[in-house]
Each structure stands twice: as structure tokens, then as C-alpha cells.
Chains A and B, each alone.
Chain A
Amino acid sequence: MSSRSRTAILGAIVLLFLLWLIVYPLILVLIEGFQGPGGWTLDYLRQFFGRRNEAQALWGSLWISLATVALAGAIGIPLAYLFWRYDFPGRSVLGGLVALPAVLPPLVGVIAFLFLYGESGFTSLLVQRLLGLDEPPWRLQGAPAILLVHAYSMYVYFYLFTRAGLASLDVAVFEAAASLGAGRWRTIRRIVLPLLYPSLGGGALLTFMTALASFSAPYIFGGGFRVMTTQIVATRLNGDDQLAMIETASLTLLALVALWLLRGAPRGEDPASGRKGVPPALIPVRRPLARILVALLGWSLALVLLLPHLTLLLVSFVPVGTWTTEPLPPSYTWRNYLTLVVDPVRTRPLLNSLWLATAATVASVGIALLAGILSVRRRVPGRRVIQGLLALPWAVPGTVFAIALATAFSIREPLLGRFILVGTLWILPLAYLVRNLPITSRAVLAGLRALDPALDEAAATLGAGRWRTLRRVTLPLLRPALVAGASLAFVTAFGDFVTSIMLYTYDTRPISLEILSSLRQSDVGVAAAYGVVLMAVSAAVFAVGAEQGSPG
């Protein structure tokens, strides 16, 4: 049939496009790492193994990621259980706050921690003043600093995954366990944990991958502590391009090995769209002492969660150069926000981020939709590969893709599919697009799979052709999935730092880079103001996404 073969050809084009955009640059990195001036060489590989720094960086990446999983799990899992099982004072308020770290883009979260807990941040100055010390009581640096930021921002994954897992449990299961004489601990050990295992695995995998790819925290706080993401950027800045390629390959390998080891876990199971079981009745905390204790704990937790946001807001009103050693800034001004709007140099990054993120989001939604319909509905040959390719950038750290795209698109060889995009305004949207594809396609694929194929068939028996079916049936029904995927993708691209720092040009500098340069000029107020804007836009997009995305 001709329409069937046309569909197959379209599928092949999509497949080739994804191979070109996602796999090809990665392969080029591998090739170039083994090519010197005189052809193939193992020199750079030898260099890599010869230097202690490299091993330290790889090891650093690995153990920081594992420690992050442990810490985030230790916070997120009990918290989720607490919310699922117990009623306590302030439960609903706290419930609204626990996901707060999610609205802080990575770099913004890091600078908020800097202002809050850094050497000259509020808390250290406060402690110094209170204890009358000559020096700040601590320095926010190295592995502990990175872990602190990671635990704060990534426990949310564990929390959400665990809650989704718990939400899918049915109270009847526990009643059955109780009727069979199982006590609380036996029920948790034999029933709850095994049933939660997929959710916990999903949370662990997501946390590990995010921590492995983390760049902002080690970049700002790392000091002498090495992890691979920052090492790659440093090597690249030194001009050792080939060594950077080998490092990139090693990080990719680490990510893929981790993925393979945890392959049993349901990758990226959407915490929002789980099955819904009947939850057990909440157990009220009744004993007065316990109530006070729980309330106290709850409110301190709320404070800890909220402090970075508040700090950012406070610092955004600090005039440049006025806040030095006082615990609280001595004066406040609106000037920082005004500058963002009035000063064209300051406004530019905002507009840049806006159009870059919008373009990347629109393109990634379009590609995900096309690839999704071809692979789920039309079942074109190679659909598995298409779906795998769409998910692949999720497993590969952003630094790796930045290097890969910078490598692939720095020379002009149209016959080999290589064009000069580096230094143009196209490289950043392309990079954002690659990073957005897993986000939008996961939403679109899940949405498409949830649609009853009989709806398409019903439209056909009623005489509606492909376009009319798409426009009148498929797209309206996919809208929640599209909105959810698009808003998450937009927020990710809007706050991107890790790929931007390697690929931006002055004309396309995004907000995150402007935050960095403001910090370097000690203009903390403007940096914080940018941060607040990022945070507000993220929160607004999430809110709109949650509202528009809900069906009905």
C-alpha cells in the first residue's frame, strides 16, 4: 500500500534525523579522542590514564553521585511515608512546600546556597557575629558543599517517586497483611518495600543520573574537588581538546554503565501518572509531646526548604557594593530589577533565554509528536530505535552533549552532515532541543499509549481523514501530555547552564551566563534578581502546566 510505504519513509527520515542529531555527534567525540595530528593515536588515552587528576575526577563523580542517592533517599523516602501515613499539625502547608526545590534552576539554587551558607552568606556571618569569631565559622567548599546542594535539590525525586509508588498501593493489601497476622515492620519489610521497589529504583536512577551530570554545584563550590563534568570544561578551556574528548567518553561510559546496572528500574516512570490505589486512613499524631515535636520539625523543615528562595529574594534588593560584612544587607533598592528592564545589555539575556527556550521547546514538541505518532500509532519499522534515541539524551550528561555538538558542528562538511553552527545563534537552540527531546517525548509517548486506538478507528469509520483525526481527536486528547511536557522542557531550557556555558556566544548569552558574570563582578543584587526572574518564570510555567495539563 502506498500510504503505508509513505509512512515508512517518513519514519526512516525521522530515524535518520535523530541519529544525526543525537548519536552522530557522540560518535565523532569518540573518533576525535583517538585522532592526533598524525592520524590514529592512543596518546590521549595514555594521557588520561597517566594523570592522577583524571582518576580523581572520575572517582569523585562516582562517589558524589552514590552519596547523593543515599542522602536524597534518606530524606525523601521517610518524608513521603510520613505524608502518606500520618496526619500532623501543618501537614497541608508543608505538603505544598516540599516540592519547592524543583522551581530553582540548578545554577540559581547554587547561588542561593552561596548567599545563604557561603563564607560571606547570612548564616555564616550571623554565627561569626554571635560567637565573636575572627573568621567565618565554615567555608562552603568541596564535597560537603556539593552534597548539601544535591541533597536539597534532589531529595524531591525520591519524595515524588515514593509518593507515586505509595499512591498506587491499595489499603486492602495492608488489611490483608494484618488479617494474616503481620505486624507493622513485617508489613513494611515484606509488603510495602517490595511493592515500592520499582518506584524507589526509578527515584534512585533519576537521582544518580542527575548527580552525575551535575555541573553548577561543583563548578561554583568545587574548589580543589574534582568531578568529571567540571574537569571536561577545564580541560577544554586549556585547549586540550582531544583529552577533553577522552574525558567526555569516560563520563558517557560511566553514565551508560550505571543505566545498564539499574536497567531493571522503570526508567523515568512519571510520578504524576501512576495507578491510583485506595490510600489508608491517615493516622493522627495525638500525643501532645509528639505533636509539638513533629510541628517543630515540620516548621524547621519548611524554613530550610524556603530559605534559599527567601535569600534570593532579599539579595535581589541589595544595591551593588553595599553589603560586605554585615549579617543583613544595610540598604535595599528596586534598581536591580529596573536594570533588567531598562538596560539593553541586561535585558538581552532575558530575551535570549526566552526565545531560545521557546524555539527549542516548540521544535522538541513537534519532533516528539511526529516520532510518537509514527512509532506508537503507525508502528513504523525501527520504532524501537526511534523511541530509544528519543530517550538517550536523558542518560547522557549535558556536558557531554555540549562537547559533542561543539565537535560535530565546528567544521563545514555538508556531505558528512557537518555544518558550522558553533558561534552562530543556532547551536544553543539545537543543544536545548537535544536535551528537551527526552522530556517532551516521554510525555507524548505516555499520552499516546494511554489513548485508545479505537478512537482513531472510530474517527475513520466516521469518514475523518488523517489530518482531521489528528486535529479533532488526537491533539485535543493529547493536550494535557503536550502541555506537561512542553512546560517542563521550557523550564529546563530557560534555566540551562551546563550546555550554555560551553556553547554560548555574546549575542546569545542566556540568563545563567549573565548571572555568572554578575557574580564575577560582585554585583550580587543583579545576579539574584536574574535568579528570582528564573525562579518566578519556572514556578509560573509549572503552575500553568499543572492547571492546563489536568484533563477536563
Chain B
Amino acid sequence: MDELLGPARSRHGPQVNPFLQLENLTKRFDGMTAVDQVSLSLERGEMVALLGPSGSGKTTTLRLLAGFEVPDEGRVLVEGDDVTKVEPVARRFGMVFQHYALFPHLDVGENVAFGLESLGVRGEQLASRVAGALALVDLTGFERRRIGQLSGGQQQRVALARALAPEPRVLLLDEPLSNLDPALRERTRREIRQLIRRVGITTIFVTHEQEEAFDLGDRVAVLRAGRLEQVGPPEDLYAMPANEFVAEFVGRSSRIPVTVLGPGERGLRISVEGVEWDLTDGNAPAVSPGPALMVVRPEALRLLPPGPGALHGLVTDRRFAGSSSLFTIQTDGGATLEVSGPPRSVASGDRVGIMPSRRSGGGIHLFTRPSQ
């Protein structure tokens, strides 16, 4: 239910009443711009993923939000209040650190109580709120455990409970799953999603894993070199990437140079390695004639025996991926394409033809290129 509602909720169009606003945030280090004019608005209770490769400025953005860094330009607003200059101590943003930063000399209960004590919570009330926070992350009764006795997953949950206990206005997560082994990662992801939905806290988290961003984020903000490339629900990013970078960074894809010829009989006519294809309008946005780069998802192409109208190439590799296989094709023109198909349809060394699949559903994207 949540999975359905989440993205839908954020698709209201322009937000009337943003809870958290980042306005033109800019941060320079030694003349290098780490974060460049980043603007983003979050509704109350919304969960946004900052996705980008390392060095894209996502962690710096998070640190600007937490108050560990002061932006050179721009503002951070919570419900209209400017908190840009508010010290982290007074900001009431909860944060889960990449390596958790649990206090190793305090036990689980003392860790969780730490932020509540800052608010002056004492005695009975403190104990019950600590217990409540631990119950939230399914660690009831863990108060007196030492941090060193916990598994990685439990430490992560303690960090989450500690951040949530003082009921912060915003929750920040720095690569929340990067320290867990892959088997645990997916389960933890699910738990985090359910927990945050239940608490209803406005959340921003940083990740370099697209799968994580898609799974957890109501919306995903893709960053590159400090700039925000695109913000949107996962399916929009996949189906309508704003540019070449987003298209390639999000999901599997391969790239091949083409020439756009103009409108054809059944859509946009392009020429690929001398073969002419008509792309149905669902597949490709209007691009002016001339050289272009085609970024294509594996499922947007299909393999067939060599023949007229098909792109030709040699199968060089096959990778089994469950219900289908991913085939690597070296085209005669020298491009490398990844195409998905039934597991045993062709074998390495076979000569094959390639055509756009009939239901490529937004898997082909054209980006205009200056002539090469």
C-alpha cells in the first residue's frame, strides 16, 4: 500500500506548502565548488534520496543540512524558518552516520537517552521514551547491551533509534546501508522504509546505490559534480531521464551513436550503422535532425536472426539473470550493446540481428550531440 501511495503522493505537481526547503545551496572548498546551486523542496513526511557517484556533493549537501558546514550561498528552511545559521546542536535534525558513530563507552540505552537528556527529559519519562524508541526498531529490552556486543544490523537500528528518540524535525541518513553485508541490506532497507513511513518523518538520505534510492525514495535527486541533474519519482527518472548522465547512471543501458533523419512513417526515423529504424513516439522524445546519442535499456531491444532492417553483430558474452539473460553484442559498426532475451535463445559466438522491441516502453532515449 505504502509503495503505491508514496510515489503517488509526491506527484501532486507544484508543492504548496513545503516542509523542508533547500534554496540555491552552494558550498566551495578551496576554490572547488562541491555543491552548486542546489534547490529542493520536501513535503512533510516525504522521503528523498540524494543519489550520485562519489564526489558528486551529496554528502556535503547532507552536512549543510545538518549544520556541520555553513553554505557560502543559499538557505535551508524548515516550515518557512531560516535555519541556515542555526548550530547543529540547536537544529533538531536527527542524523544516522555512515559508520553509525555510536558512543562505544555507553550502552544501548544510554546512547538512545543521550539526545533526550539534551532536551531535559529525566527519570521515568526518559526510561519509557528510550524503551519506546527501542521498540520502534525492534530492540526491546536491549537497553543494557554494550555497543560492541551488537551485530552490524543491530548497531544500525540503535543509531536509528538514537536519532529518532528526541523526535527531530528532519531525519538525515548518510549511506545508511553501506556498512551491511548484501544479504542483510535488502531486509534492512525494507525495515527502514516501513519504520520511517510509520513515524512519518521528513527524511533525506544519501546513497550511491541506485537500487537503494529507488526502493526507499519517494523521489530521487540525482547529483553530479555538485549540481542537481534531475529530481523526480523513480519511474520518471527511469522513463524520462533529463539527460545523458541520468539515463546512464540510472538503470542498465548501453550507448550507440545514431543520426536522426526526421519524422518517418511510424515515428521518428533514425539511422543506426546504416540501418534505418522508426522509433514509435512513446520511445523517443522529439529530437532535431542530426547526429545524436542513443541510450538504450536492455529490455528495449530484441534479438532475432540476421535479416533486413536489423542491426547486425556478434554475441560476445551471456550473463544469466533469472527469467532472462543479458547478452553482450559487438555490432559490426563497433558499438557494444546489452540486450535482454530468453535465457538460451542465442549463444556466445552467434551472429544475430537486433531490432527495437515492440514494447520498448520508454527504454530508448536520444540526446542531441554536436556533430563529431
Contacts and interface: CB of A to CB of B under 8 A. Distances in A.
Contacts of A465: 89
The winner among B66, B98, B105 for most chain A CB atoms within 10 A is B105
A477 B99 contact: no
B65 to A, nearest CB: 11
A463 B90 contact: yes
A3 to B, nearest CB: 8
Nearest to A459: B114
Given A464-B89, A465-B89, A473-B103, A458 B95 contact: yes
B101 interface: yes
Interface residues of B, number: 32
Contacts, number: 67
B105 A461 contact: no
Interface in B73-107: 87-95, 97-99, 101-106
Interface stretch (A6-14, A379-387, A449-457, A515-523): A449-457
Given A464-B114, A464-B118, A468-B118, A454 B99 contact: yes
A455 B114 contact: no
B118 A458 contact: no
- Give the secondary structure class of A's interface: helix
Contacts of A473: 103
B163 interface: yes
A455 B68 CA distance: 13
A462 B163 CA distance: 7
Contacts of A468: 118
A461 B104 contact: no
B103 A461 contact: no
B92 A463 contact: yes
A476 interface: yes
Interface in B113-151: 114-115, 118-119, 148
A460 B103 contact: no
Given A468-B118, A472-B114, A477-B104, A461 B99 contact: no
Contacts of A454: 97-99, 101
A472 B115 CA distance: 12
B163 A461 contact: yes
Contacts of B102: 458
B166 interface: yes
A462 B105 contact: no
Interface in A416-470: 452, 454-455, 457-465, 468
Nearest to A452: B101
Interface string A1-40: 1000000000000000000000000000000000000000
B201 to A, nearest CB: 14
B162 interface: yes
A437 B220 CA distance: 52
Interface string A516-552: 0000000000000000000000000000000000001
30 contacts: A1-B70, A452-B99, A454-B101, A455-B103, A457-B68, A457-B95, A457-B101, A460-B67, A460-B89, A461-B91, A461-B94, A461-B95, A461-B115, A461-B163, A461-B172, A462-B94, A462-B114, A463-B90, A463-B92, A463-B115, A463-B118, A464-B89, A464-B114, A464-B115, A468-B118, A472-B106, A472-B114, A477-B103, A477-B104, A477-B105
Interface of B: 66-68, 70, 87-95, 97-99, 101-106, 114-115, 118-119, 148, 162-163, 166, 168, 172
Given A457-B88, A457-B101, A462-B166, 7 more contacts: A457-B66, A457-B68, A461-B163, A462-B163, A463-B115, A464-B115, A468-B118
